[in-house]
Amino acid sequence: MSAVASSFRIGPYVVSPAVVLAPMAGITNVAFRQLCREFGSPTSVYVCEMVTARAIVERDSKTIEMMTFGADEHPRSLQLYSVDPKNVTDAVTIIAGEGLADHLDMNFGCPVPKVTRKGGGAALPYKRRLFAEIVRAAVRAAGDIPVTVKFRVGIDDEHLTYLDAGRIAEAEGAVAVALHARTAAQRYSGEADWSRIARLKEAVTGVPVLGNGDIFSADDALRMMRETGCDGVVVGRGCLGRPWLFRELHAALTGQPVPVGPTLGEVAAILHRHGVLLADHIGEEKGLRDLRKHMAWYLRGFPIGADLRRAFAMVSGLAELEDLLGKLDHDAPYPAEAEGPRGRQGSPGRVVLPEGWLDDPEDAAVPEGAELMHSGG
Ligand SMILES: Cc1cc2nc3c(=O)[nH]c(=O)nc-3n(C[C@H](O)[C@H](O)[C@H](O)COP(=O)(O)O)c2cc1C
């Protein structure tokens, strides 16, 4: 069995072990990143929720709040969305000039119809010249800040874009590329095709290639690295309600035995910590409301009555949370039912594109109306 890479570089940063928390809108805020970091390595990378170039240029207050980083968070990884090289230049000039981040990741993977319909997200790499111009603009304006690029396999099986995207990103100065091994048409359904990650690794030889898609356990991460030769893994849904997955990934990638999952008592303590971190970040009321979406993920598979589950899903304050956590059977062991896929799955669907989008891949015109204002995906 071949050894897996233990670290890779994002420009000046050594990422060790070779694990990245995937950017997830509505999830990877400062509180969640901190929690994952407490379980994982301080030298892994934990990416912030996506923000849009336009929102930065217009100093949108919600976006500024989303760009909050922990006092000792390093590197401060920010994901940026844009379809317009000019906006990218302006936004990245602000980020670099005001020292707002230490690493920029460019998002070209969004499959949401309202985004692809305008030519944004996963539709964009089909326009090779425009894609190149956007990456170039980011790299130039970023100066010393390293830029990485994240994309999907393509629009659908007939329109694969990932090999060109990888080569172009490398040529334009991206210091690493990450592939979510699904097409936009797949959305989050079916399985990620890891063989694409292996193909990309063959095509992109000068910068690290990161694999993404369907890592739900430490073993999955090892398997992806062995099967594809990728330099690192990007983990999204697998850590929803399971930030301790980073402890397991850390162990597996450094050759240690993978610890067993937490008891319900330990999960209760982690859930409480998550609530406290959110309350510190956005206030108790908003924070606890945000925590509600994580409840089913945290409690999945544990023996908890339906009434208690419902109460967790409606929690509105820390004292109430503490009261509910006290009602749990703290000795209940980690259940097998908590393993396996979690989070968004959905079903595949045709990718809606702007009219004539597929006619000319070399057309570098900025698509109209695709420059989103709202950060957070
Ligand atoms: C709730 C949610 C929000 C996401 N938001 C973003 C985003 O803002 N930017 C991005 O590049 N990918 C986003 N993704 C995609 C993930 O980063 C990742 O590529 C995808 O979930 C596949 O990895 P996984 O199988 O480990 O979850 C999101 C995924 C989920 C589930």
Per-residue pLDDT of the chain (377 residues; tens, 9 = 90+): 445 768 999 999 999 999 999 999 999 999 999 999 999 999 999 999 999 999 999 999 999 999 999 999 999 999 999 999 999 999 999 999 999 999 999 999 999 999 999 999 999 999 999 999 999 999 999 999 999 999 999 999 999 999 999 999 999 999 999 999 999 999 999 999 999 999 999 999 999 999 999 999 999 999 999 999 999 999 999 999 999 999 999 999 999 999 999 999 999 999 999 999 999 999 999 999 999 999 999 999 999 999 999 999 999 999 999 999 999 999 999 999 999 999 988 899 999 999 999 999 999 999 988 888 777 65
Q: What is the pLDDT of residue 1?
A: 44
Q: What is the pLDDT of residue 137?
A: 98
Long-range CB pairs of 132-136 (<8 Å, 24+ gap) are 132/168, 132/171, 132/172, 133/85, 133/364, 134/82, 134/83, 134/84, 134/85, 134/88, 134/106, 135/106, 135/168, 135/169, 135/172, 135/173, 135/174, 136/85, 136/172, 136/173
Q: Is 313 annotated as a binding residue?
A: no
User: How far apart are the C-alpha atoms of 220 and 352, rounded to whole Å?
Assistant: 32
User: How far apart are the C-alpha atoms of 338 and 266, rounded to whole Å?
Assistant: 14
- Nearest alpha carbon to residue 294 among 19, 32, 30, 21: 32
Q: What is the pLDDT of residue 372?
A: 81
Residues with CB under 6 A from ligand 1: 22-27, 49-50, 79, 107, 109, 150, 180, 212-215, 235-238, 343-344, 377
Q: What is the pLDDT of residue 375?
A: 73
Q: Please state which CATH number belongs to domain 8-253.
A: 3.20.20.70
Q: What is the pLDDT of residue 2?
A: 47
Q: Which two tokens stand for residue 58?
A: 């217009």
Q: Where are the domains of the chain?
A: 8-253, 264-333
- Nearest alpha carbon to residue 348 among 190, 233, 178, 211: 190
Q: Which residues belong to the active site? A: 110
Q: Ligand 1: distance of its center to the CA of 236 in Å?
A: 6
CA distances from 28 to 209, 261, 274, 374 (A): 22, 22, 12, 16
Q: What is the pLDDT of residue 3?
A: 59
Q: Is 180 annotated as a binding residue?
A: yes
